[in-house]
Amino acid sequence: MAQVVHLKASEPLPEEGEFLVVTRLSRLRAYEFFIDVSPALEPKVGARVPPGEPGYPTQEKSIEAAQDLAGRHGVPKIYVQHHSIIVRPFYPGEEPV
């Protein structure tokens, strides 16, 4: 089971290594949670999970999914972005911000 690390608002993500990040994404009427992957892990998993689908409805569900994904790929840590960090969606053909 991967270690879950809840980041403070000012804490940066590591620059290297394999890890997952639970990220809150802003939609028009709600928030969704996604799992982003570190650059080192991206060739194995892809850029964002679930790709091209609605996100997870709660942070707890996204952490459960991240644990499953981490177990399948041997990922040691899952970082959870602080609730004040909200990213915007990106669409196919658009570079993530």
pLDDT of 48-92, one tens digit each? 888 777 889 899 999 999 999 999 999 999 999 988 877 755 444
H helix intervals, 1-93: 42-45, 59-73
pLDDT of residue 72: 94
Q: What does the buried/exposed string (b/e) look like for 67-95 if buried means 16 or more CB atoms within 10 Å of the residue's CB?
A: bebbeeeebebbbbbeeeeeeeeeeeeee
- Of 70, 91, 94, the C-alpha closest to 19 is 70
What's the pLDDT band for 30 if we cut at 50, 70, 90? low
In terms of pTM, does the model score above 0.75? yes
Radius of gyration of the chain (CA): 12
Give 1-28 pLDDT, tens digit per residue.
Answer: 999 999 998 899 998 999 999 988 876 6
Question: Within 10 A of 28 (CB to CB), how many other CB atoms are there?
Answer: 4
The neighbouring-strand residues paired with 33 are: 24, 56
